[in-house]
Amino acid sequence: MTARQLISHAIASEIQLVAPSLFLDEITEVFCGNLDDLQKVQQHLLYLEQLVNEKALLIVVPSLAIRMKAIEIARTGNSKSGYPELSDSLYHALAIVNDAIFVTNDSKHVAKVNRFGHVEKLADYPKVFERIV
């Protein structure tokens, strides 16, 4: 299952995609560093706005509860295996606080924080989708 299929499910109103406001900055940075054609950058950013306007994607400014949970998640781990990134932890905390599932392609993050629940690998999304619909 790919991220595109996940988005397709959201467009079909089968699931709700929720992301912290940080997502917009991260995706803009990806476009800035990887797309030379400014028209393509604009096209992709307009598509994101369309997803938000159609309510397929909900952008959330993290509350205090989300930020505190993210800090708690980011402080787990150890010097050998490393610590979860705060940015990944914000996505994860958003899922926890909203009783949702953080779907990520970062299997290292999943391994480090699996004890918190509410996290699944993108590769496992088909099984997750079957459970939630």
Q: Is the dihedral of CA 27, 67, 65, 110 positive or negative?
A: positive
- In the block, which residue shows the tokens 């997502």? 23
State residue 132's pLDDT score: 74
State residue 26's pLDDT score: 95
The one-letter amino acid at 86: L
pTM equals 0.89
**Tens digit of pLDDT at every position of the chain (133 positions):** 567 888 888 888 888 899 999 999 999 999 999 999 999 999 999 999 999 999 999 999 999 999 999 999 999 988 888 899 999 999 999 999 999 999 999 998 898 999 999 999 988 888 877 777 7
State which H helix or E strand residue 18 sits in: strand 17-20
Pairwise CA distance, residues 25 & 18, whole Å:
15
Bridge partners (DSSP) listed for residue 19: 59
